[in-house]
Amino acid sequence: MNKAWERIKREGLRYAGARDIDTRIIDLVLRDKHLNIAGMQLADLIVSPIGRKVLGKPTRAVWDVVESKFRRRPGSDDYRGPGLVILPR
């Protein structure tokens, strides 16, 4: 997990350069899931349906709610890129 974050800070992303990421995200602390932190539980409620969809596993009803929140390309239903970036490519 820390290796992936260090690579993103060093190389940047398609929609955010390394400098932007390094200057805008300050003091990111990655914690173990077993700590059962409320914010991480909320993040898991969002990440799990996305992961299931990306991996081709059956989605659940909550996927429709999560998918409806993605930013989309103007005039399109396409959310890949502006709303969802899957790494590694």
- The whole-number pLDDT of residue 1 equals 63
50 with 18, same domain?
no
| CA 11 vs CA 51, 76, 83, 85: distances in Å | 23, 29, 20, 15
18 with 48, same domain?
no
The whole domain housing 15 covers 1-30
The count of domains in the chain is 2
- The whole-number pLDDT of residue 12 equals 92
The answer, yes or no, to whether the previous bond of 49 is cis (omega within 30 of 0) is: no
51 with 89, same domain?
yes
Does residue 38 belong to any structural domain of this protein?
Answer: no
Residues 18-74 have pLDDT tens digits of: 999 988 888 888 777 777 788 878 888 899 999 999 999 998 889 999 999 999 988
- The whole-number pLDDT of residue 34 equals 77
62 with 24, same domain?
no
- The whole-number pLDDT of residue 60 equals 86
Mean pLDDT of 7-20: 90
